[in-house]
Amino acid sequence: MMRRFEDARILMYSHDTFGLGHLRRCRTIAHSLVEDYRGLNILIISGATIAGAFDYRARVDFVKVPSVIKLRNGEYTSLARHIDLHETLKMRQSIIRHTAETFQPDIFIVDKEPMGLKGEVEETLAYLKSRGTTLVLGLREVMDAPHLLEAEWKNNNVMRKIDQFYDTVWVYGPPDFYDPLINLDVPVTLRDKMKFVGFLQRSLSNDNTPTHVPEGDYILVTTGGGGDGADLVHNVIHAYQQDPTLQHKAFIVLGPYMPAKQRAKLVKKGGKIPYIQVIEFDNRMEELIAGAKAVVAMGGYNTYCEILSFDKPALIVPRVLPREEQLIRATRAAELGLIEMLLPEEAEDPLRFAEVLKRLPDRPPPSQTGKGEGMRLEGLVHISEIVGDWLDEREQPLPAVAE
């Protein structure tokens, strides 16, 4: 039985300076919630340049703020080159604040950046807190290496501010996989607000049969947004060039953020090998992963959830700079026997890489190889229960107070 609320509203914020991860996570949560609750409207504030390239269900919409991109060295720059960063940030801050004032959400969910990009959400948090909105910070199960996260957060007094503003902190992974704030000095009051909801299960949309899944068996190669994925794709192609016995079909998705020059080069290179097909972008990654015999990826959060959701043998070659998030996730998943991992420098050896690729389709899926609890994908169910309870409370009239 689907429950109905009278005009319940959730606002989500996804800063999106590099890649698609934050937006895809927000969209997954939003779609799952509107499926569970009628009368619920969700608005996602996103800085992703291609926020409009995805389909959104009814009652989920997005507001696009001007894009700021993170360069490889970790610095930020305005996507519109002629506008300086400071002005772009001022515009973003103002749009976020006005959206919150107009939309008047019951719940505000912030993805990963506690105060937003360069602190742009702080005044909106203060405003919504004064209005009684429930404030939620959603964290990936792995944030970054502790020393890097600590340095980033210490500068801006982030830990104290999370505790001051947020009612609860959701960790999008199970408690026994990883603790995003490991080795950090976390106040007890903040620890008490943390809820490990679990990984976010992915599923296929109920549309008709997938149209864009390749024929026959294929290994899917994905680098997510692709902004820093050229090395992995190059190494896959190189392995095929060097080992003629590698004959599994490979279907490579470059990602929308791969620089045009690298993209053109890889399309040309891949075109010379009969077993390889290269496409630039597909907004239904779930279908491609579900149809694959095995997956080769860098192991960002969403791809990892999809590998587990569709139970696919996987090889992860994680990014190791500037953040160590993918390395930490892949190391832990490999430890639990869920996936196979190669470090980027190991993947540069084409014959070694080819050996692993040849074995990959016959590797048993994670559900058979994994130890313990690493497979739990209960995040969306838990989030739905929590949100349902909050909205229920909101709809209960408060007891009349005697004068």
State the CB neighbour count (10 A cutoff) for residue 85. Answer: 13
- Predicted local distance difference test score (pLDDT) of residue 2: 76
State the CB neighbour count (10 A cutoff) for residue 265. Answer: 15
Nearest to 320 by CA among 221, 256, 228: 228
Q: What is the pLDDT of residues 29-67, one digit of tens each?
A: 999 999 999 999 999 999 998 898 899 999 999 999 999
Q: What is the mean pLDDT of the chain?
A: 93
- Predicted local distance difference test score (pLDDT) of residue 400: 63
What predicted TM-score, i.e. pTM, was given to this entire model?
0.94
- Predicted local distance difference test score (pLDDT) of residue 398: 63
With pLDDT > 90 as the criterion, what percentage of the chain qualifies?
83
Q: Long-range contacts made by residues 385-389, C-beta under 8 angstroms, separation at least 24?
A: 386/168, 386/170, 386/195, 386/197, 387/10, 387/33, 387/37, 387/107, 388/3, 388/36, 388/37
The pLDDT of 204-213, averaged and rounded, is 71
Q: What is the pLDDT of residues 333-342, one digit of tens each?
A: 999 999 999 9
Domains of the chain: 3-201+377-394 (3.40.50.2000), 218-374 (3.40.50.2000)
Nearest to 136 by CA among 51, 37, 33: 33
Sheet architecture: strand order including 3-14: 60-64, 37-46, 3-14, 107-111, 134-140, 168-172, 194-196
Q: What is the pLDDT of residues 161-205, one digit of tens each?
A: 999 999 999 999 999 999 999 999 999 999 999 999 999 999 987
For the ranges 67-81, 213-227, 241-255, which has the lowest average pLDDT? 67-81
Instruction: Please indicate whether residue 72 or residue 347 has the higher confidence score (pLDDT).
Output: 347
